[in-house]
Structure 1
Amino acid sequence: MSLPREIALNAKAWPFEEARKLLARYGASKPKKGYVLFETGYGPSGLPHIGTFGEVVRTSMVRRAFEQLSDIPTQLFCFSDDMDGLRKVPDNVPNRELLAQYIGKPLTQVPDPFGTHPSFGEHNNARLQAFLDGFGFSYAFKSATQMYKSGAFDETLLKMLRHYDDVMKIILPTLGAERQATYSPFLPICPRTGIVLQVPMVARDEAAGTVTYRDPETETLVEVPVTGGHCKMQWKADWAMRWTGLEVDYEMAGKDLISSVELAGKIVKALGATPPEGFNYELFLDQNGEKISKSKGNGLSVEDWLTYAPDESLALFMYQQPRRAKRLYFDAIPKAVDEYLTYLDKVASEPAEKQAENPAWHIHGGQPPAGKVPLSFAILLNLASVVGANDAAVLWGFISRYAPGTTPENNPLLAKLVQYAGVYYRDFVAPTKKFREPTDLERTALTELAEGLKALPAEADAEAFQNVVYEIGKRHPFPELRDWFKSIYEVLLGQPQGPRMGSFIALYGRDNSVALIDKALAGDLLAL
C-alpha cells in the first residue's frame, strides 16, 4: 500500500525522517550513478549475529520510506570486510587450533573451520546471505576481497595515495604516540607470508601507484602496488575509501562508532567527495547488560529468536526505539510477538497518515499481509501451559471452537504461532512453573469466580467472562485489583504473569476453566 507523497513527506516515523535527509541531498535529481545507494557493512571475523540483521532491516526500512518520497531508483549493498586480517580465533567455532595458525591473514585466506567453504570468510559470507535471503531482503552482496582484487577500487585507492598526507593529518591526532609512529592508512599484503601488515611506509610513488615498507622479519625493503588487492586500507580509511569509490549515500552505524563515522567523513571530504547520510543506533545488550559480541557469541542469535517467534516480531524489535539500548533476551520475545499482531491488525483499516506511523507498514515494506490472528501469543502460551504443549491438534481444538472457521490452512500465521507457543512453553515456561496454594481470601474469591462462571452461558464472550473476574476482584479486599489477577495467575497457571482472563476463559472454555479452579482449590495442581 503506497502512501500519498504528501503524507510521506510529513510522516514522523523515524524511517521517513531519515529518508527526508536523502531527499534533501538530491531532490528530484538522479545521481550520476543512476541510483541512491544504501550500504550496510559486515565484519566476517565471527558468525553473523543479530546486530547485523538489525542494521540491514533498519536500513531497508529507510530505503522503502525513501521510495515513497522519490522516483529515483535505489540499491542496497551488503558489504563484507572479508579482506581483514584474522585478529583472534572466535570462541564459538570448531577446530580453533586450525585457525590459530592463520592469525593476521585475510579472512578469505583462512581455512573454514566448519569445512563447508574454501575459506572462513566465505563461510561467514554464506551464512550472512542465507539468513538475509530468508527474510526476503532485496540487496546486492559485495565482497571486499573481490572488489579490491578486481580493480573496482583502484581509482579511489590511487586517489587515497595522492591525498596520503591529508589522510594522515586527519587520523594521526586520534592516535597515541606509539601508534602514530607506525601508522599507515595502507596495509600491504605481505608477498612472502600473506599476512596483512600494519607497518609504516618508508616511501610512496604516486606516479607508479606504489608504497614501500620494511619487512618486519627480513628487514628488506618491499615495494607493492596499492591497487589490485596488494594492499587494503586500515578500517577507518577503508570506510572512507568505500564511501568514495561506491558513492554511498546512506549508511547507519552503532553508537560506539560515532567518532569513526566523523573521521571517515572528514577523509571523504579530503578526497573531494560527499560523505553519506546516516544515523547512529544504540547497541543491543545481553541479559547481563553487556554488549552483544559476534566473537563471544553472547546474547540472542537470529536463529534463537526464530526458534520461538516469527521474523516479523524480530523486525518490530529492531524498529522500535533504535536510539535506545535494549536488552535482547528470551523474555522479550512474547511481548514483541503480541505487539506485532496488534500493529498488523490495525494497519489495513487505518488512514494513510496512521499507516505511515504503524511499524507493520515498515516491517512489510508498505505491503502488510491481510488477515487477522484472533488470539494473542500470550494466550496461546497460557493455553499450551494448561493443556500441555506437545500436541498442536489439541490446541487447535480449542482455537476452532473459540474462532469458528479458523484453520491452519486459512490462517498460516496463527498456525506458526501455535507451533512457536509449544516450543517456547517447553523451553522457558514449563521449567519455571510453580503453583501455590491459595490464601483464605483467594480461596473465597476463586470459589465465587467458579460460581460466577457457571452462571454465564457456556458460549458467553470474552468480555462477559472478564466482567465476572473483574467484579469478583472488586468485591474482595485485595490491596489492589492487580493483586487479584496476580493470584489467579499464580494459583491457576503457576506463573506470576498471564493473559487477559476473559479471553483465556473464552478460549479454554467455561466448563474447563471451572474445572481448573476446582483442581486448584483441591490442591491437585500443586503436584504438576
Structure 2
Amino acid sequence: MVEEMSGEHELAMQAKAWPFEEARKLVARYADKKPAKGYVLFETGYGPSGLPHIGTFGEVVRTTMVRQAFQRMLPDVPTRLFAFSDDMDGLRKVPGNIPNQEMVAQHLGKPLTKVPDPFGKFESFGHHNNAMLRGFLDSFGFEYEFQSSSDWYRSGRFDAALLKVLQHYDEIMAVMLPTLGEERQQSYSPFLPISPTSGRVLQVPILERNADAGTIVFADEDGRKVELPVTGGNVKLQWKPDWGMRWSALGVDYEMSGKDLIPSVELAGKICRILGGQPPEGFNYELFLDEKGQKISKTKGNGLSVEEWLRYAPPESLALYMFHKPRAAKKLYFDVIPRAVDDYLTFVEKFDGMEPAQKLENPAWHIHNGRIPDGVKGTAGLTFGLLLNLAGAANAENAEVMWGFIRRYAPGASPETAPFLDRLVEHAVAYYQDFVKPTKRFRAPSEQERAALTDLRGVLAGLPAGAAAEAIQNEVFEVGKRHGFTELRTWFQALYEVLLGQTSGPRMGSFVQLYGVAETIALIDRALHPQASDAGLG
C-alpha cells in the first residue's frame, strides 16, 4: 500500500486535471517549509440567511477535489476544511419562505444567532440554518469542520485579529474608501458595533478610536455616545474586512469564490496582508446560467436547485457537472441532466481499465477520491438515456414497470442486486413523467417511412431469439439503406418521431434488445395502423 501511495504521489505531481493544477499552488506555497499551524487549511464560506443551494454544493465539492489532489501530492501534510458560517451578520430582510414572519420582523438587524427560530426548533434562526447546512453537507458525505462566526467572535478567538484591525484602522480605510460612493464614505467604518440596548448590528460612523484601550466610540440608536471594546463579540466587521481578517486569523490557505467576487477577493487580500497574513490561494469559478442564458439567482428562483437535480439524477452526476470546466459559464437546467448521468456512467465504466496516470485525469477519480465504490457499478450496461426511452415506450408510471423489462434483458439484475441501477430507474421514471411525457408528439409516417417500417417489422419478426444489440442495429441500418435514406440520420430520426414521439432517441439495437422484439413490433403496428390501435385491435 505504501508503494502504491508513493507511485500515486509521483503521478499526482504530473497530473493535468484542474484540481491537481490548483493543488500545485499549495505545494509551491509550502515548498520550503511546512505550515506553522501544522496543517493546510481549506475554507468555504456560507451566508446563513437562507437555505443551502446548488452554489453551496458546487463550492464544497470543488474545494474537496482540490484538497484530495493536494493530499496525494504531499501526503505527510495534514489538511482541514472549514465550512465557515457568517452567522454574526445582521438579518436584513425577512425571507418570504418562512413561518412566523411578523415575529422575525421584530428582530431585523440583529445577528442571525440572536433572531428567534421561526420554525421553533433551534436556539436561533442562525442555528436553524446552520443545522440545515450541516445536514446538507453530511448528506453528501463531505469531510469538513463546521465553524460559526458568532462562536469565533464571542469566544474571543478573533480578539487578537480585531485589535490588529483597530491598530491598522487608517490603512484599512485607505483600501476600502476608494471603492465606496461619496455618501457611503462619510459613514463607513470596518467595525459594526452591536448596540448594547437593541442588540442590532449598527452601520454607524466611528466617532473615536482608542487603539491602546482597544475600544471605539459611536452614537447608539438613541443618540447616546457609547464606548465599546472591539473584542468579546461587541462588534463584527464589514464583510470584506471580515473576510481578510478571517484569512489572517485562521491562516486560510485555499478558498475559491465566484467570478462576481473578484474585486472583493482583491480587497480582502490587501486587508489580510495589512494584518500580517498571507492571502489564500484559490480561483474564481464562473457562474451558472439558466436556459435563457441569464445568471441563476436565489431571489429569481431560476435554474435548478439541488433538490430538483436529486429528484432526477444521483448526486455523483451533479458532482461531475461541477467538475467540468469550472472557469466556463454553463447552463444549469433540466436538459443537462441525462447527459451528465451518462457521462458519469461512462467515466466509471472506463476507470478500472485505465493506466494509473490516466485514472488521475478521469473525473470519477475526483468524485470518489480515487476509489470507485462497488455501489455505483453494476448497471447491466444500461445508460440513463436508454432507461428514459424505455420509460417512454412503456409509458412507465413506476419503477416496477421498468424492472419487468430489465429482468428479461438482464436476468440476474434486480433492485436488490443492482441498487445503483434501481436508483437510476427511479430517476428515469421521474424525469420521464415530468419532462418527456408532456412533450411527446407522435407523427404519421410518410409513404417512404411507411414502406421502410413495414420492411423493418418483417426483419424484426424474423430475428433469431436472443439477437444481440449490434446485430439488430445492423439490420435497422440495412432497412434504411434499402429504402433510399441516403442520410441514415434521417431514418433514425423518423423512427424516434413516429415510434417514440420525440426528436431524438437511443441506439435502436440497444433499445429493441431491452424493450423486446415483440413490443417493438407492436410500436410499429400502432404507427402503421393507428385506427386499429385506438380501437384496441392493434
TM range (shorter): over 0.9
Return the alpha-carbon distance in structure 1 between the equivalents of residues 63 and 262 of structure 2: 17
Return the alpha-carbon distance in structure 1 between the equivalents of residues 319 and 121 of structure 2: 29
In the superposition, relative to structure 1, how do residues 507 and 269 fare at CA in structure 2: closer, same or farther (>3 Å)? same
Query: Does 1:483 find its partner at 2:490?
Result: yes
Contact 1:458 1:511 in 2 (8 A): no
Equivalent in 103, 110, 115 of residue 110 of structure 1: 115
Equivalent in 514, 521, 526 of residue 519 of structure 1: 526
Q: Which residue of 2 aligns with 1:263?
A: 267
Equivalent in 69, 83, 87 of residue 82 of structure 1: 87
1:344-366 CA deviation, whole Å, 9 max, x = no partner? 11111111111111111100111
Q: Which residue of 2 aligns with 1:346?
A: 350
Q: Which residue of 2 aligns with 1:313?
A: 317
Aligned residue for 1:236, secondary structure, equals helix
Q: Which residue of 2 aligns with 1:469?
A: 476
1:116-137 CA deviation, whole Å, 9 max, x = no partner? 3222211111111111101100
Give 1:194 deviation, angstroms: 1.2
Which runs of structure 2 are paired with 1:339-418 in the superposition (5 Å)?
A: 339-370=343-374, 371-373=377-379, 374-418=381-425
Contact 1:112 1:123 in 2 (8 A): yes
Return the alpha-carbon distance in structure 2 between the equivalents of residues 423 and 278 of structure 1: 38
Return the alpha-carbon distance in structure 2 between the equivalents of residues 486 and 114 of structure 1: 52
Equivalent in 215, 227, 233 of residue 237 of structure 2: 233
Equivalent in 147, 150, 154 of residue 145 of structure 1: 150
Equivalent in 216, 223, 228 of residue 219 of structure 1: 223
Aligned residue for 1:251, secondary structure, equals coil
Return the alpha-carbon distance in structure 1 between the equivalents of residues 534 and 236 of structure 2: 65
Q: Which residue of 1 aligns with 2:340?
A: 336
Which runs of structure 2 are paired with 1:445-456 in the superposition (5 Å)?
A: 445-456=452-463
Equivalent AA in structure 2 for residue 182 of structure 1 = S
Give 1:526 deviation, angstroms: 7.8
Query: Does 1:161 find its partner at 2:142?
Result: no
Identity of aligned residues (%): 63
Q: Which residue of 2 aligns with 1:50?
A: 54
Return the alpha-carbon distance in structure 1 between the equivalents of residues 297 and 195 of structure 2: 29
In the superposition, relative to structure 1, how do residues 113 and 497 fare at CA in structure 2: closer, same or farther (>3 Å)? farther
Query: RMSD of aligned C-alpha atoms?
Result: 1.8
Bigger CA drift: 381-390 or 267-276? 381-390
Contact 1:19 1:66 in 2 (8 A): yes
In the superposition, relative to structure 1, how do residues 204 and 100 fare at CA in structure 2: closer, same or farther (>3 Å)? same
Give 1:102 deviation, angstroms: 2.5
Return the alpha-carbon distance in structure 1 between the equivalents of residues 178 and 364 of structure 2: 45
Aligned residue for 2:328, secondary structure, equals coil
Return the alpha-carbon distance in structure 2 between the equivalents of residues 274 and 33 of structure 1: 13
Contact 1:91 1:295 in 2 (8 A): no
In the superposition, relative to structure 1, how do residues 470 and 102 fare at CA in structure 2: closer, same or farther (>3 Å)? farther
Give 1:442 deviation, angstroms: 1.6
Equivalent in 274, 285, 288 of residue 289 of structure 2: 285
Q: Which residue of 2 aligns with 1:97?
A: 102
Return the alpha-carbon distance in structure 2 between the equivalents of residues 511 and 134 of structure 1: 43
Q: Which residue of 2 aligns with 1:248?
A: 252
1:231-257 CA deviation, whole Å, 9 max, x = no partner? 001000000011011100000000000
TM-score normalised per structure 1 = 0.96
Equivalent AA in structure 1 for residue 81 of structure 2 = L
Return the alpha-carbon distance in structure 2 between the equivalents of residues 47 and 209 of structure 1: 36
Give 1:23 deviation, angstroms: 0.3
Equivalent in 415, 418, 431 of residue 424 of structure 1: 431
Q: Which residue of 1 aligns with 2:276?
A: 272
Aligned residue for 1:141, secondary structure, equals strand
Contact 2:392 2:432 in 1 (8 A): yes
Give 1:481 deviation, angstroms: 2.5
Aligned residue for 2:505, secondary structure, equals coil
Give 1:295 deviation, angstroms: 4.1
Return the alpha-carbon distance in structure 2 between the equivalents of residues 494 and 113 of structure 1: 48
Equivalent AA in structure 2 for residue 344 of structure 1 = V
Contact 1:389 1:421 in 2 (8 A): no
Equivalent AA in structure 1 for residue 455 of structure 2 = E
Return the alpha-carbon distance in structure 2 between the equivalents of residues 301 and 69 of structure 1: 34
Return the alpha-carbon distance in structure 1 between the equivalents of residues 117 and 290 of structure 2: 28
1:375-428 CA deviation, whole Å, 9 max, x = no partner? 001111111112232342332232122223222222211011111111111222
Return the alpha-carbon distance in structure 2 between the equivalents of residues 119 and 430 of structure 1: 44
Give 1:214 deviation, angstroms: 1.7
Aligned residue for 1:331, secondary structure, equals helix
Aligned residue for 2:13, secondary structure, equals helix
Return the alpha-carbon distance in structure 1 between the equivalents of residues 534 and 190 of structure 2: 67
Q: Which residue of 2 aligns with 1:205?
A: 210
In the superposition, relative to structure 1, how do residues 224 and 479 fare at CA in structure 2: closer, same or farther (>3 Å)? farther
Equivalent AA in structure 2 for residue 454 of structure 1 = A
Aligned residue for 2:334, secondary structure, equals coil
Q: Which residue of 1 aligns with 2:512?
A: 505
Give 1:31 deviation, angstroms: 0.8
1:133-183 CA deviation, whole Å, 9 max, x = no partner? 011000000011111111111111111111111111111111111111111
For CA contacts below 8 A with separation 6 or more, give which structure has more relative contact order: 1
Return the alpha-carbon distance in structure 1 between the equivalents of residues 253 and 295 of structure 2: 28
Q: Which residue of 1 aligns with 2:77?
A: 72
Return the alpha-carbon distance in structure 2 between the equivalents of residues 96 and 160 of structure 1: 36
Return the alpha-carbon distance in structure 1 between the equivalents of residues 173 and 49 of structure 2: 27
Contact 2:398 2:426 in 1 (8 A): no
Q: Which residue of 1 aligns with 2:179?
A: 174
1:45-69 CA deviation, whole Å, 9 max, x = no partner? 1111100010000000000000010
Equivalent AA in structure 2 for residue 372 of structure 1 = G
Alignment coverage as a number of residue pairs: 527
Return the alpha-carbon distance in structure 1 between the equivalents of residues 463 and 32 of structure 2: 64
Equivalent AA in structure 2 for residue 22 of structure 1 = L
Contact 1:47 1:294 in 2 (8 A): no
Segments of structure 2 that go 5 or more residues without pairing to the other structure are: none
Contact 1:92 1:297 in 2 (8 A): no
Contact 1:46 1:295 in 2 (8 A): no
Return the alpha-carbon distance in structure 2 between the equivalents of residues 104 and 504 of structure 1: 59
Return the alpha-carbon distance in structure 2 between the equivalents of residues 219 and 477 of structure 1: 89
Give 1:213 deviation, angstroms: 1.0
Return the alpha-carbon distance in structure 2 between the equivalents of residues 505 and 383 of structure 1: 9
Equivalent AA in structure 1 for residue 252 of structure 2 = V
Bigger CA drift: 34-43 or 281-290? 281-290
Aligned residue for 1:201, secondary structure, equals coil
Equivalent AA in structure 2 for residue 82 of structure 1 = D
